[in-house]
């Protein structure tokens, strides 16, 4: 009996499962507030949204599922864009339970082309579009991300920072940032060329999509509204109340501070949204309001103040006693400021600051002491593995911070070298290949910036001699040799080819010389990023001289000699941080001052036989 | 009386302006762009002049008041094996080599060709034969200014040296 009951139960469960899955309907978007629209453009927009939301959703994490959104047809708005084309914008309400990214505001924008076909996109303002700059993401009607950029509330301009490659659909134009995608300078770059970034954007491209024919100027809608303003504005009071509720702030002083500092309210609100109101972000928000209320002199009008606050919290400054240096408190502030000026890499800034504070916290430097700086050592080694640029960033931060420390405390430079930099250099030393014949560009860079190894002096500068057969010259075991092998650099190719012609015409003969100086200026800098030319990034400007060693009837042997000096000045000439150009670091001799970035020369010497 | 003072002050002002801003005005005039298309020898032939700046005069062992005249002529014009052109040039002070003190008038061969290969920095090859045969430590760039006037610019570099970068040794501007 029990057995029959048991079997029946299993059968019922199986049947129920089959019935459930066979009868389950696809979760199509519901339109609870769908109105019977009368405006022809609104009707077209409604059809456009229905068609697009019925398309299969992308599984790519960066895309959105438009079925998670419901258009608010009660609040659509129609404007005329600068091309004289009517544009409809409709707020999209996100279903909180299925929210992918809690964006500040989302809407669709639709126009009709000459044939009356609806063309549209979904625009997602990650942050508040009324204050400063915020990220704006543009999706196709089916939710595929095709461009990301920054929207500036003051200039009302959209600057793309990422665009999908695919079929070209360039829409140029100026004026209202949203009424067309703007062309991007050819040199516009994203990311680190060695870590897979460095995307050259000659123009903004649009991913193919059945509902968005690409190409014609004016085909894309004017989002949002007619003046770059969202259709359903959110007032500062609403944001304040929202933030106070999220952070559960009841302290009257804190409430008064927030009321008097709308920029803080905006930034914290956006921070919470960006972090999907995580508990960690809420904890930070609460701490930040408390800290700012207790430190009313903290400048929240200065760019990057939020990152500085994140750094202060992460470092937990109260654990440092600052007993050995007279002005440690002011140094602490200066270090945070320097790092904050560099970039928003809060993790790296925290690691650098933590190590420096650990050093500053030492009360009595002696031969028995060394700063552990465990995280900094590992972080630096990781940066070396990643790319020259990543290594340069952390080395530059260290130099700037430690240089300030040395300037403010004359006489401490030896201690900084002995107890901080030298142990770090020793750690890095194990990652480097010192053999000039088999080393790569990363090895050369690390040798220069951390002042590693010892090399014979030429003209008073320690110089690494790299000769015929070296991997750096031939490109063997070097990534992207067509760009990064020394023999393939444009200077060398130019010298080789022009002397081939001069030899052929007997204008050059044995003993003849020629030279060419490669000028590394701003255009070359951007080109080298685009081409991911580690060689050019490392070398910058350099001089090459050739000498004709032997000549036959249709061939000649040429000696190439290229000389370069790696120095802080050439390395920092084009560095621009997120806060703009932060200046050049002066050159210095190796072994003097801080043990970072002292001049090192490289001499590339090899022979080639050319024919004509 | 007041007008006299005004004239004197204005005079001093303009004198100072032109003295101190001469370089700026010259640089504005000299903004150039590399000629990347093949240049015909007919375009090249002509008279060029160069008035050195302080640092150029120092390198070339000449005075800033000197005017160097380079004449590229069609004398002995012929085509070379590779299809380039060669002829005679004259210069009133030989300055086409860096750091060699040889400033007497000079006459020798010029040579012009064009490189079509990819990854070429200076596509028009210009060569001035020297007293030390086939020696050159200056790259000759053919450029045009905003008015379309041809310039022959000598470029060199001294990596790690006093200037530590590329600089113009001379800039001859075509005058006729």
* Six token digits for residue A550: 């032997």
Do the chains contact at A541 and B166, CB–CB below 8 Å? Answer: yes
Instruction: Suggest the residue from B97, B117, B119 to mutate for an interface test with chain A (most A CBs closer than 10 A).
Output: B119
Most confident of A103-117, A520-534, B128-142: B128-142
Residue B111's closest chain A neighbor by CA?
A507
Where is pLDDT greater, at A601 or A152? A601
Q: Of A294-298, B96-100, B123-127, which gets the smallest average pLDDT?
A: B96-100
Do the chains contact at A564 and B159, CB–CB below 8 Å? Answer: yes
Round to the nearest angstrom and report the end-to-end CA distance of chain A.
99
pLDDT average, residue stretch B153-175: 76
* φ and ψ at residue A7, rounded to 5 degrees: -65, -40
Residues of chain A neighbouring B111 (CB-CB closer than 8 A): 502, 505, 507
The distance from CA A523 to its chain's CA centroid, rounded to whole angstroms, is 20
- Cβ-count burial of A177 within 10 angstroms (0-12 exposed, 13-18 middle, 19+ buried)? buried
> How far is CA A472 from each of CA A430, A437, A604, A605, A610, rounded to the nearest angstrom?
20, 7, 9, 11, 20
Do the chains contact at A507 and B111, CB–CB below 8 Å? Answer: yes
The whole-angstrom separation of Cα A213 and Cα A115 is 12
Confidence band (pLDDT; 50, 70, 90) for A88?
A: confident
Confidence band (pLDDT; 50, 70, 90) for A168?
A: very low
**Beta-carbon count within 10 A of B4 CB:** 8
Q: Are residues B98 and B118 in the same domain?
A: yes
The whole-angstrom separation of Cα B115 and Cα A90 is 58
Do the chains contact at A502 and B125, CB–CB below 8 Å? Answer: yes
Residues of chain B neighbouring A542 (CB-CB closer than 8 A): 157, 159
E strands in chain B: 32-34, 46-50, 68-72, 78-79, 85-91, 106-114, 124-128, 139-145, 150-157, 166-174
What is the span of the domain harbouring residue B165?
A: 33-174
Confidence band (pLDDT; 50, 70, 90) for A81?
A: low
Q: Are residues B123 and B97 in the same domain?
A: yes
By the CB < 8 Å criterion, does B111 face chain A?
A: yes
Beta bridge mates, B109: B88
Best CA proximity match to A511, nearest among B19, B130, B166: B130
pLDDT tens-digit readout, A401-419: 898 888 877 778 888 998 8
Where is pLDDT greater, at A164 or A111? A111
Instruction: Suggest the residue from A494, A503, A542, A601 to mutate for an interface test with chain B (most B CBs closer than 10 A).
Output: A494
Residues of chain A neighbouring B133 (CB-CB closer than 8 A): 509, 511-512
Confidence band (pLDDT; 50, 70, 90) for A100?
A: very low
What is the reported pLDDT for A593? 92
Q: What is the percent of chain A where pLDDT is above 90?
A: 28
Residues of chain B neighbouring A511 (CB-CB closer than 8 A): 133-134
Helices first, then strands: H and E counts in chain B: 4, 10
What is the reported pLDDT for A253? 92
By the CB < 8 Å criterion, does B84 face chain A?
A: yes
CA dihedral A581, A586, A587, A592 (to 10 degrees): -130
Instruction: Suggest the residue from B36, B59, B113, B157 to mutate for an interface test with chain A (most A CBs closer than 10 A).
Output: B157
B92-126 b/e (C-beta count within 10 Å ≥ 16 → b): bbbbbbbebeebeebeebbbbbbbeeeebbbbbbb
What ipTM was predicted for this assembly? 0.79
Most confident of A67-81, A151-165, A236-250, A545-559: A545-559
Q: Are residues B90 and B142 in the same domain?
A: yes
What is the reported pLDDT for A313? 80
Q: Are residues B166 and B81 in the same domain?
A: yes
Instruction: Suggest the residue from A517, A563, A572 to mutate for an interface test with chain B (most B CBs closer than 10 A).
Output: A517
Q: Are residues B42 and B5 in the same domain?
A: no
Best CA proximity match to A450, nearest among A473, A417, A472: A417
The whole-angstrom separation of Cα A270 and Cα A246 is 12
Chain B closest-CA separation from residue A508 CA (Å) = 5
pLDDT average, residue stretch A304-329: 67
What is the reported pLDDT for A10? 54
Of B115, B127, B158, the CB nearest to A497: B115
Q: Are residues B91 and B148 in the same domain?
A: yes
Residue A518's closest chain B neighbor by CA?
B166
Confidence band (pLDDT; 50, 70, 90) for A180?
A: very low
* Six token digits for residue A483: 């760009």
* pLDDT, mean over chain A: 74
What is the reported pLDDT for A598? 93
Q: Are residues B49 and B116 in the same domain?
A: yes
Q: Are residues B88 and B17 in the same domain?
A: no
pLDDT average, residue stretch A122-133: 70
Number of independent structural domains in chain B: 2
Q: Are residues B49 and B14 in the same domain?
A: no
In the predicted structure, residue B167 carries a pLDDT above the cut 50: yes
Of A497, A502, A509, the CB nearest to B117: A497
Note whether A280 and A297 are within 8 A (CB): no
pLDDT tens-digit readout, B31-80: 788 999 999 999 999 999 999 999 888 888 888 899 999 999 999 999 98
Confidence band (pLDDT; 50, 70, 90) for A1?
A: very low
What is the DSSP pairing of strand A105-112 with strand A513-518? unpaired
Do the chains contact at A505 and B80, CB–CB below 8 Å? Answer: yes
Instruction: Suggest the residue from B88, B89, B121, B139 to mutate for an interface test with chain A (most A CBs closer than 10 A).
Output: B121
In the predicted structure, residue A216 carries a pLDDT above the cut 50: no
Note whether A228 and A420 are within 8 A (CB): no
pLDDT tens-digit readout, A343-394: 767 788 889 988 888 888 776 676 666 678 899 999 999 999 988 888 988 9
Beta bridge mates, A168: none
Domain boundaries, chain A: 40-195, 236-296, 302-308+315-431, 441-445+453-611
Do the chains contact at A497 and B164, CB–CB below 8 Å? Answer: no
* Six token digits for residue A479: 């990534």
In the predicted structure, residue A525 carries a pLDDT above the cut 90: no
pLDDT tens-digit readout, A441-479: 999 999 999 999 999 998 889 999 999 999 999 999 998
In the predicted structure, residue B163 carries a pLDDT above the cut 60: no
By the CB < 8 Å criterion, does B81 face chain A?
A: yes
Confidence band (pLDDT; 50, 70, 90) for A233?
A: low
In the predicted structure, residue A19 carries a pLDDT above the cut 70: no
Q: What is the percent of chain A where pLDDT is above 70?
A: 67
Q: Are residues B22 and B38 in the same domain?
A: no
Q: Of A184-188, A332-336, A553-557, B133-137, which gets the smallest average pLDDT?
A: A184-188
Q: Are residues B67 and B118 in the same domain?
A: yes
pLDDT tens-digit readout, B144-155: 999 999 999 998
User: Residue A411 in 3-state DSSP?
Assistant: coil
Residues of chain B neighbouring A493 (CB-CB closer than 8 A): 117-120
Where is pLDDT greater, at A497 or A108? A497
What is the reported pLDDT for A446? 94
The whole-angstrom separation of Cα A476 and Cα A350 is 38
Of A501, A513, A519, the CB nearest to B166: A519
Note whether A105 and A134 are within 8 A (CB): no
The whole-angstrom separation of Cα A565 and Cα A534 is 16
Q: Are residues B16 and B42 in the same domain?
A: no
What is the reported pLDDT for B142? 95
Taking each helix axis as running N to C, give the angle between helix A252-260 and helix A279-294, from 0 to 180 degrees, rounded to the nearest 10: 90
Do the chains contact at A541 and B158, CB–CB below 8 Å? Answer: no
In the predicted structure, residue A242 carries a pLDDT above the cut 70: yes
């Amino acid at each position: 009996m029990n057995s029959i009951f048991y079997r029946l139960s299993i059968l019922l469960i199986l049947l129920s499962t089959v019935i459930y899955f066979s009868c389950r309907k696809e979760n199509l978007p519901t339109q609870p507030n769908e109105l019977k629209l009368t405006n022809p453009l609104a009707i077209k927009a409604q059809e456009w949204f229905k068609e697009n939301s019925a398309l299969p959703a992308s599984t790519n994490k960066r895309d959105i599922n438009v079925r998670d959104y419901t258009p608010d047809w009660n609040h659509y708005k129609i404007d005329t864009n600068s091309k004289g084309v009517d544009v409809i914008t409709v707020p999209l309400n996100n279903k909180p339970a299925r929210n992918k990214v809690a964006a500040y505001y989302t809407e669709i924008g639709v126009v009709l082309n000459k044939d009356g076909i609806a063309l549209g996109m979904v625009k997602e303002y990650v942050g508040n579009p009324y204050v400063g700059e915020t990220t704006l993401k543009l999706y196709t009607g089916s939710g595929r991300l095709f461009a990301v950029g920054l929207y500036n509330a003051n200039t009302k301009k959209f600057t793309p920072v990422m665009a999908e490659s695919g079929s070209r659909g360039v829409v140029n134009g100026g004026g209202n940032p949203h009424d067309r995608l703007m062309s991007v300078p050819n040199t516009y770059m994203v990311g680190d060329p060695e870590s897979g970034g460095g995307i050259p954007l000659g123009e903004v491209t649009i991913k193919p999509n059945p509902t968005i024919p690409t190409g014609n100027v004016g085909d894309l809608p004017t989002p949002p509204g007619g003046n770059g303003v969202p259709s359903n504005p959110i007032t500062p009071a609403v944001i304040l109340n929202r933030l106070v509720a999220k952070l559960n702030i009841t302290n009257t002083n804190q409430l008064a501070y927030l009321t008097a500092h709308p920029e803080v309210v905006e930034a914290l609100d956006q921070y919470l949204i960006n972090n999907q109101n995580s508990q960690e972000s809420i904890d930070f928000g609460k701490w930040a309001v408390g800290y700012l209320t207790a430190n009313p002199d903290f400048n929240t009008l200065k760019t990057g103040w939020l990152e500085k606050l994140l750094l202060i919290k992460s470092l937990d400054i109260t654990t440092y006693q600052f007993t050995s240096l007279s002005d440690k408190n002011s140094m602490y502030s200066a270090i945070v400021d320097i790092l904050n000026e560099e970039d928003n890499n809060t993790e790296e800034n925290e690691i650098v600051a933590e190590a420096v504070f650990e050093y500053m916290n030492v009360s009595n430097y002696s031969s028995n002491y060394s700063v552990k700086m465990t995280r900094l050592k590992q972080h630096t080694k990781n940066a070396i593995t990643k790319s020259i640029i990543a290594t340069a960033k952390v080395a530059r931060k260290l130099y700037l911070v430690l240089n300030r420390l040395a300037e403010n405390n004359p006489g401490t430079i030896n201690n900084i070298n002995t107890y901080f930099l030298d142990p770090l250099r020793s750690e890095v030393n194990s990652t480097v290949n010192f053999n000039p014949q088999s080393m790569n560009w990363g090895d050369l860079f690390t040798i220069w910036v951390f002042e590693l190894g010892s090399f014979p002096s030429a003209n008073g500068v320690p110089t690494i001699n790299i000769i015929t057969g070296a991997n750096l010259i031939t490109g063997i075991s070097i990534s992207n040799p067509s760009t990064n092998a020394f023999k393939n650099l444009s200077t060398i190719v130019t010298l080789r080819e022009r002397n081939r012609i001069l030899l052929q015409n007997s204008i050059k003969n044995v003993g003849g010389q020629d030279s060419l100086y490669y000028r590394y200026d701003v255009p070359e800098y951007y080109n080298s990023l685009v081409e991911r030319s580690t060689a050019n990034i490392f070398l910058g400007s350099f001089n090459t001289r050739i000498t004709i060693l032997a000549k036959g009837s249709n061939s000649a042997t040429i000696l190439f000699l290229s000389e370069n000096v790696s120095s802080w000045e050439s390395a920092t000439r084009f560095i621009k941080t997120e806060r703009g150009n932060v200046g050049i670091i002066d050159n210095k001799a190796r072994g003097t001052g801080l043990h970072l970035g002292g001049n090192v020369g490289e001499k590339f010497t090899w022979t080639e036989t050319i024919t004509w | 009386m007041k007008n006299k003072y005004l004239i004197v002050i204005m005079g001093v002002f303009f004198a100072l302006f032109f003295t101190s801003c001469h370089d700026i005005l010259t640089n504005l005039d000299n903004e150039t762009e590399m000629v990347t298309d093949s240049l015909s020898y007919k375009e090249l032939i002509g008279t060029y002049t160069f008035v050195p700046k302080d640092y150029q005069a120092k390198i070339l062992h000449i005075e800033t008041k000197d005017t160097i005249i380079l004449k590229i002529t069609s004398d002995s014009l012929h085509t070379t094996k590779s299809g380039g052109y060669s002829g005679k040039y004259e210069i009133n002070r030989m300055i086409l080599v860096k750091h060699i003190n040889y400033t007497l008038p000079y006459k020798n061969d010029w040579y012009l060709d064009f490189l079509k290969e990819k990854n070429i920095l200076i596509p028009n090859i210009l060569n001035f034969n020297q007293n030390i045969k086939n020696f050159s430590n200056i790259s000759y760039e053919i450029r045009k200014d905003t008015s379309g006037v041809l310039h022959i610019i000598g470029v060199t570099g001294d990596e790690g040296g006093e200037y530590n970068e590329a600089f113009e040794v001379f800039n001859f501007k075509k005058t006729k």
